[in-house]
């Protein structure tokens, strides 16, 4: 147990030092990089390591007769989480989410330090000491708190309420709700039941499983399957339509949505927000193909009222493309990202 805790303490100390050095710039901030695509798991893994490290350090200090007070353990743990979220994770997390995470972490720290009577007594002891103020020094500290705490609270309140020149927060919906049906080039499509006419097998029948087997594979990057190359001159059926969709995409869409469909096209950064990143699991991977068909056809201007603020300048592509071309582009987007459209079978 002691050996295990020593290793944990060593990892914890090294991790904290490295993180601090990266944050203040003593070592390059990308020494330990967060890898795109693996970030979510990496973040959890790092937090587990840090908690193990803290436990080890705490254990070792107690074993050496220098037990760290529970009160400061709690405060430091919470401060660490806040700083980690603020400085470690890049791109930066918006304040609203950091506030949520911070509040939950605070509650969890409280649950930890008050889980049993003994710990709770240890935790509140310094607070009680200050309130009791039995020595002159602590009495001064109490008066200092009496002045500093209201000032801090007042300062935060003032800062929160004072009018600022920055743009206001927007409660923008990422996925505006689609209508039940949409009319494109004179034909009505029911979004719940319509299907992409080009998602077909070699016999020309609609076949989701067949097309799913042909999409690129996701791993370290996205890899095309050797037997499913749309640019093969002999490619037929689904793969041929993917190629045609790709040609339409690169003629019309990639300027904004990017070569890799990640929303970072040539013109992307002229907009805020930049165009949708189709490679993110939160976009087309969550939606039915008909949703994309509707969004592409109607563009930003065709979004429903309840989807405001729209913040989308995508043109209504029904004015420039045929229905077949739109379906093929949608087909290509799913193929290229390696995602499968949502179905309910």
Q: Which residues in the 94-133 window bind other proteins by CB under 8 A?
A: 94-97, 100-101, 104-105, 107-108, 111-112, 114-117, 119-120
Residue number with CB closer to other proteins (248 or 256): 256
Unique residue bearing structure tokens 């790092």: 46
Residues 6+ apart with CB under 8 A from 40: none
Write the binding mask 59 to 78 for other proteins: x where contact by CB under 8 A, - elsewhere.
--------------------
Stretch that binds other proteins, among 124-132, 155-163, 164-172, 199-207 (CB under 8 A): 164-172
Question: What are the two backbone dihedrals, phi and then psi, of residue 141, each rounded to the nearest 5 degrees?
Answer: -60, -40
Stretch that binds other proteins, among 33-41, 150-158, 239-247, 322-330 (CB under 8 A): 33-41
Q: How far apart are CA 316 and CA 217, in angstroms?
A: 31
Instruction: Decide if residue 272 touches other proteins (CB under 8 A).
Output: yes
| Closest listed residue to residue 59, CA positions, set 13, 11, 9, 14 | 9
Stretch that binds other proteins, among 13-21, 132-140, 240-248, 276-284 (CB under 8 A): 276-284
Write the binding mask 247 to 266 for other proteins: x where contact by CB under 8 A, - elsewhere.
----------------xx--
Stretch that binds other proteins, among 12-20, 225-233, 244-252, 278-286 (CB under 8 A): 278-286
Instruction: Compute how many other C-beta atoms are within 10 angstroms of the C-beta atom of residue 310.
Output: 17
Contact 316, 299 (CB under 8 A): yes
Query: Could you tell me the smallest distance in angstroms from the CB atom of residue 194 to other proteins?
Result: 11
Task: Return the structure tokens found at 216.
Answer: 């690129």
Q: What distance lies between CA 100 and its chain's CA centroid? A: 14
Do strands 221-223 and 187-190 pair parallel, antiparallel, or not at all (unpaired)? unpaired
Contact 263, 278 (CB under 8 A): yes
Q: How far apart are CA 277 and CA 163, in angstroms?
A: 34
Binders in 132-151 for other proteins, by CB under 8 A: none
Binders in 38-57 for other proteins, by CB under 8 A: 39-41, 43-44, 47-48, 51, 55
Binders in 279-298 for other proteins, by CB under 8 A: 280-283, 285-288, 290-291
């Amino acid at each position: 147990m002691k050996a295990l805790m020593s290793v944990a303490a060593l990892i914890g100390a090294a991790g904290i030092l490295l993180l601090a050095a990266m944050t203040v710039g003593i070592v390059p901030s990308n020494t330990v990089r967060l890898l795109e695509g693996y970030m979510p798991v990496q973040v959890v893994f790092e937090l587990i390591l840090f908690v193990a490290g803290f436990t080890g350090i705490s254990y070792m200090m107690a074993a050496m007769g220098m037990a760290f007070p529970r009160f400061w353990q709690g405060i430091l743990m919470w401060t660490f989480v806040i700083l980690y979220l603020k400085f470690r994770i890049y791109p930066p997390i918006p304040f609203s989410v950091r506030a949520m995470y911070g509040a939950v972490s605070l509650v969890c720290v409280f649950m930890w330090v008050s889980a049993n009577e003994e710990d709770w007594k240890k935790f509140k002891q310094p607070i009680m000491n200050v309130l009791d103020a039995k020595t002159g020094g602590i009495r001064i500290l109490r008066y200092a708190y009496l002045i500093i705490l209201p000032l801090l609270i007042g300062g935060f309140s003032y800062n929160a309420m004072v009018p600022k020149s920055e743009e206001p927060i927007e409660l923008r919906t990422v996925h505006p709700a689609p209508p039940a049906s949409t009319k494109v080039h004179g034909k009505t499509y029911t979004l719940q039941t319509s299907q992409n006419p080009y998602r077909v097998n070699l016999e020309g029948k609609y076949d989701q499983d067949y097309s799913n087997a042909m999409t690129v594979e996701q791993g370290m990057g996205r890899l095309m399957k050797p037997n499913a190359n749309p640019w093969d001159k002999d490619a037929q059926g689904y793969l041929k339509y993917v190629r045609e969709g790709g040609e339409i995409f690169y003629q019309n869409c990639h300027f904004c949505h990017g070569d890799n469909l990640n929303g970072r096209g040539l013109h992307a950064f002229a907009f805020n927000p930049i165009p949708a990143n189709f490679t993110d699991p939160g976009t087309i991977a969550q939606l039915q193909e008909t949703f994309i068909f509707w969004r592409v056809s109607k563009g930003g201007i065709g979004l429903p009222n309840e989807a405001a603020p729209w913040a989308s300048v995508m043109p209504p592509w029904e004015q420039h493309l045929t229905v077949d071309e739109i379906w093929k582009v949608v087909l290509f987007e799913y193929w290229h990202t390696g995602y499968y459209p949502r179905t309910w079978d």
